[in-house]
Chains A and B, each alone.
Chain A
Amino acid sequence: MNILRIQIARLSSKMSEPIKTKINECLSRELSPIKLEVVNESYMHGVPKNSETHFKVLVVSEKFTGLSLIQRHRIVNNYLKEELKTEFPHALSIVAKNPTEYDGEYKLEPSPNCRGGFGK
């Protein structure tokens, strides 16, 4: 039952959230993460409903081992820039860990409140 629910959710997100789907697919493919979470936080900002402008991602991958935070972020940014090109989101918050830094309990915290600067 749960599996069915997940599959339906995946299918519907693929249709309604194409950019989120692309981010998921791209990072899964390139970084073989043991944990990947992509959150569309656009609803927190002054944008139309169902927008895909603000994202937050948690990626846990062996490929980050030995790399600085900047290097990790650059890797994620570069893959997504290549994948999304002009669709690259307005805001992309990244938490990039390697498996030893990742504690299974870790939960992504919501991004700080918007202060109205979007689109200006």
Chain B
Amino acid sequence: MSFLINNITRQIVRNHRQLLIQCSQFATDGKIIEEMTKKNKVVVFMKGNPEAPKCGFSNAVVQIFRMHGVDFEAHDVLADEELRQGIKDFSSWPTIPQVFINGEFVGGCDILLQMHKDGQLIDTLWKNAGIKSALAEDETEGSKDDEKSK
């Protein structure tokens, strides 16, 4: 009897999965999110859009990339509840914003800010995505570029 129930349950799960795969707009699906993260060299999941961020942390990320003169693709998680949860599950990271460089999860606002401050962001953009930061030339002048960017 329990064997029968197990079989039926398995069948239901299988059908359900198939249904999820068929619904390509279903953002919680890890594969779809993975594709989104790889669609552009720099992808940001944020609240609001770059022109009107709706969270200070998201705004900070936008401003940092602007300083570096980096174009990025932004996704507004407030416009899509499935995506908001989906991206958190995908990267096992509980907060928004989330930054991906060359398809690799880099972190949220705190980490990006830290990378910006210690110059790591310039390196990561160049080594991982072949993007030259607008602040890269200032590198030779050492820590002065931090002052300038303010």
Using a CB–CB distance below 8 Å, which chain A residues touch chain B?
69-70, 73-74, 77, 81, 88, 91-95, 111-118, 120
Contacts and interface: CB of A to CB of B under 8 A. Distances in A.
Contact of A117 (B54, B93, B109): B54
B57 A93 contact: yes
B105 A117 contact: no
Contacts, number: 60
A115 B48 contact: yes
B56 to A, nearest CB: 3
B110 A94 contact: yes
Majority-rule SS of B interface residues: mixed
A111 B55 CA distance: 11
Interface of B: 47-48, 53-60, 78, 92-95, 105-111, 114-115
Contacts of A81: 94
A77 B47 CA distance: 20
Given A73-B110, A77-B93, A117-B78, A91 B57 contact: yes
Given A95-B110, A111-B56, 14 more contacts: A69-B107, A70-B106, A70-B111, A73-B93, A73-B108, A74-B92, A91-B95, A92-B94, A94-B110, A112-B57, A113-B56, A115-B55, A117-B58, A120-B54
Contacts of B53: 115, 117
23 contacts: A69-B107, A69-B114, A73-B111, A74-B92, A81-B94, A88-B94, A91-B57, A92-B94, A92-B95, A93-B57, A93-B110, A94-B110, A111-B56, A112-B57, A112-B109, A113-B59, A115-B56, A115-B58, A116-B54, A117-B47, A117-B55, A117-B78, A120-B47
Contacts of B114: 69
